Amino acid sequence: MSIYEYKVKDGKGAEISMEEFSGKVLLIVNTASKCGFTPQFDGLEKLYKKYKDKGLAVVGFPCNQFGAQDPGTDEEIQGFCRLNYGVTFPMMSKIDVNGDGEDPLYTYLKSQKKGLMGSKIKWNFTKFLVDREGNVVKRFAPTDKPEDLEKHILKLL
C-alpha cells in the first residue's frame, strides 16, 4: 500500500484521493480547536505559506477523540481555524485516529511510524512527515512545535 491509495473527505464532505498530493512533501496533523496545542495552527500556517510554492502541503484532520477538544461540526471547525489562525491549508472532515472507527489513512500512517505509545496516537497535534514519493519519513509528538520541524521539511523539499 501507498499513502496515495487512500481516500479522505475534505472539510465539505467531498471524497478526495490522497493522490492529489503526489509529488508534494506532506505534513499530516490531527488537530483540535480547543486544545492546549491549538496555537500550533499559527506555526503550521506559517510553514505552509513559506514553503507551499516549493512543494509543501500541510493537511489537517480534526479529531474529537482526546478530551472532546473538537466538538464542532466540520463547518464550525473550518471557520474557527480561518478566523482565529488564518488557516489556508486544507482542513479535512473530522475523523477518529484511534480505535474501531479510525480512518484507514491513520491506520496506515501509524503502521509506518510508531510513537511513544506504539502505534496509537497519543494526543492532538501528532504530526507525520511524508516525502514526495509518499513514504512516511518521520512522526512528531504533539509537543514538537511546527517551527522545530522546519529543518526536517527542508531536507525533503
The residues assigned a catalytic role are 35
- Alpha carbons 27 and 153: distance in angstroms, whole number: 8
Identity of the residue numbered 65: Q
C-alpha distances out from residue 110 to 94, 95, 120, 139, 145, Å: 18, 15, 7, 9, 20
- Alpha carbons 59 and 56: distance in angstroms, whole number: 10
Cell numbers standing for residue 35: 486544545
C-alpha distances out from residue 55 to 21, 43, 101, 122, 130, Å: 9, 17, 31, 28, 12
Q: Which residues pair with 62 in a beta bridge?
A: 31
